[in-house]
Amino acid sequence: MNFRFTAVETSLNRAEFRWKWLRFLELSSLVGGIVCLLALVIGVAILLGFITSKSLAATIFASMAVLAFVAWIVAIICVAAAAPGRNLLAAALERVEPRLLDRLHTLLFLEQHRADPRMESFSMRIARQAQGVLREKGAPTPFPATRPRRSFMIFVLVLAATVWFYQAYAPWSHLKVVEKDPGNSVTSVEKPLELNSPSTNILEQSESWGEVSITYPGADLKVTKVDVVPIQIEAAANEPLKKVAWFSTVNDAGETAHELPPPGEPK
C-alpha cells in the first residue's frame, strides 16, 4: 500500500497484532488449563492409592512440566508464524467501523494492480477517504476478546481448584518416603526362632515363665492401605502353649483378635 497513507497501514498492523495476542492468550490458557487438570488427576490418583511412590510421582510431575513448556513454546511459534491475511484484517476493521464501507477491501484489490497507471488516481482518492475516517475517530478495535477471555477464566478456575485440592488434602504426604527393601520378603518370616530359654537354676526352672516377641518388622512402618506387611511373632514358655493370638486396633476403635496356628513345638 502507498507509504503516504500510514494511518491505513498502521490500522492493519494493529489489527494483526491484536489477532496474534488474542490467539496467544487463548492457546496459553488452554495449555495451562490442561496442565492444572492433569495435576489434579495425579493428586486424586495418589489419594486413591494408584501412585504410592514419591519418586514415581516426582518423575510424572517433572515430565508433565517439560511437556507443558514444550507445548507453550510450540504455541508461541505457531502464533508468531501465523498470518491472518490482509483481507481478513480489512474485513474485521470494516466490521467495527461501518463508515469505512468497503474502502479497505477496495484498496487491497487495487494494490494488486498498482502497475496500471489508470488505477493510481482512483486508489489515491479511496485511500484519502479511508485515512480521513481512521484519523477522525481513531483506530477501531477489531476481533472481540470473548473466546480468549472465557479460556482464561476457565484456566483460572481450574488453577484455583488444583491449589485448593493440594492444600486441603495434601496428597504428597500420602506417598512413601523410602521404598521397601526387596530383601525384606516373606521368606524372612520363616527364619528360626530367636528366643532362648532363660538361664536359671533348678529352683527357678520350677516357676512358670513365658515370653512373646514381635521379631518382624520389629519397628514402626509408614505404609499405605495397599501394602502387605508380613508379621513374625515368636512365643516361648516352660509349659505347653495352648493358644497364641495377637490383637489389632485402628484409631482406638476396639481390638480385633487374630488367632495363630498351634506351634510346631509344644513350648
* The pLDDT of residue 185: 46
Q: Closest Cα partner for 154 from 13, 33, 5, 65?
A: 33
**pLDDT tens figures, 111-135:** 666 656 666 666 666 666 666 666 6
> Pairing between strand 245-248 and 232-237?
unpaired
Is 180 inside any structural domain?
no
Is 119 inside any structural domain?
yes
Is the bond leading into 217 cis (omega within 30 degrees of zero)?
A: yes
Identify the domain boundary among 144, 174, 204.
174
Identify the domain boundary among 114, 149, 174.
174
**In the predicted model, what is the mean pLDDT of residues 176-200?**
53
Is 141 inside any structural domain?
yes
Global pTM reads 0.55
**pLDDT tens figures, 50-101:** 998 889 999 999 999 999 999 999 999 999 888 887 777 777 777 767 666 6
pLDDT value at 240 more than 50: yes
The domain in which residue 255 lies consists of 186-259
pLDDT range class, residue 198, cuts 50, 70, 90: low
Is 64 inside any structural domain?
yes
Same domain (yes/no): 64, 136: yes
Look at the chain and report how many structural domains it folds into. 2
**In the predicted model, what is the mean pLDDT of residues 182-211?**
57
